[in-house]
Amino acid sequence: MNTVNKVIIPVDFTSSMDQVVEYATSIADQLEADILFFHVINDFKGYDMMLVHPSFEPMKKDLFEVSQKKMAVLVADHQHRKHKVSGEVVFGEAGDEIINLARNEKADMIIIGTHGVKGLERLLMGSTAEYVVKKAPCPILTFNPFR
């Protein structure tokens, strides 16, 4: 059996995040693995021409600063764990950025929450978790906090 040394836990700072984090960190603890929390802010690529309002860049800066603060709190809340806990915030498309991070960090596992979207919403918005499951370079554990 392969050893799991590093687990990536994507977080979205929504109301269901706490359940995902609790579950994922308990698994990482059982595996005695380092934890890397990861948050991706949508970079709005392809919408640049529609979002030419002068407040667009300050809005992106504000989003990044707020996300960095939330990430710092999340990491601080989990520093008591036996293994290393860190966090990172980036701009991009969530699925692609999670996969890139897993490759670059040589992650052994990704534990990702699902939102349980179905029907038209899934058709229009897609599923980040499903995309990551299909493309990731390491094993994926999905968790539905709504069940």
Q: Give the model's pLDDT for residue 125.
A: 45
d(CA 119, CA 132): 19
What confidence score (pLDDT) does residue 1 get? 52
Instruction: Count how many domains the chain has.
Output: 1
Whether residue 64 lies inside any domain: the answer is: yes
Instruction: Using alpha carbons, list the distances in angstroms from residue 121 to 115, 116, 125, 131, 143.
Output: 11, 10, 6, 15, 19
Strands 85-92 and 34-42 come out as parallel
Domain at 24, CATH number: 3.40.50.620
Picking from 118, 81, 92, 73, the residue whose alpha carbon sits closest to that of residue 7 is 81
Nearest in space to 10 (alpha carbons), one of 43, 36, 32, 44: 36
Residue 51 CA: distances (Å) to CA of 64, 89, 130 = 17, 22, 28
Q: What's the whole-model pTM score?
A: 0.87
pLDDT in tens, the chain (147 residues): 578 999 999 999 988 889 999 999 999 999 999 999 999 998 766 555 555 566 667 888 899 999 999 999 999 999 998 899 999 999 999 999 999 999 999 999 999 988 755 554 444 445 888 899 999 999 999 988 776
Predicted local confidence at residue 29, as pLDDT: 94
Q: Are 46 and 73 in contact (CB under 8 A)?
A: no
What pLDDT, on the 0 to 100 scale, is given for residue 53?
Answer: 60
Q: What is the pLDDT, as a whole number, of residue 126?
A: 55
| Residue 98 counted as domain residue | yes
Question: Does residue 1 lie in a domain region?
Answer: no
- Alpha-carbon dihedral angle through residues 100, 105, 108, 112, given to the nearest 10 degrees: -50
In a domain, 132, yes or no: yes
pLDDT score at 45: 66
Domain hosting residue 39, numbered range: 6-143
Domain membership flag for residue 122: yes
- 73's CB contacts (< 8 A; 6+ apart) are none
The whole-number pLDDT of residue 42 equals: 83
